Amino acid sequence: MNKNIIGSRLREMRESSCLYQRQVADYLGVTQQTYSRYETGELQPSLSVMELLSGFYGTSVDFLIGFTDEKTPHKRRRTV
């Protein structure tokens, strides 16, 4: 997996949503610097951050990490 695919996808999703890094960082509860480091690939977001971002952008973690090019998330199976 290309290490910076995550950063590229995060930037793509943020820009297509017409958002600033600060806005996404505020949503995540991190600094703008930290979010910028996610986009540049200097820092890899945790799984919990990836889950928040996938929900925020209405996509899947699989898309954000480059496992698929399909932005639309699959329906989740309910577990009991």
Residues in the chain: 80
Measuring CA to CA, how many Å separate 62 from each of 2, 9, 42, 54, 77?
13, 11, 20, 9, 15
pLDDT of residue 72: 76
pLDDT at 7 over 80: yes
Give the CATH number of domain 5-64.
1.10.260.40
Question: Which phi-psi region, left, alpha or beta, contains residue 18 (left: φ > 0; alpha: ψ -120 to 50)?
Answer: left
Q: Which of 80 and 67 is assigned the larger pLDDT?
A: 67
pLDDT at 77 over 90: no
Retrieve residue 25's tokens: 């960082």
pLDDT of residue 1: 47
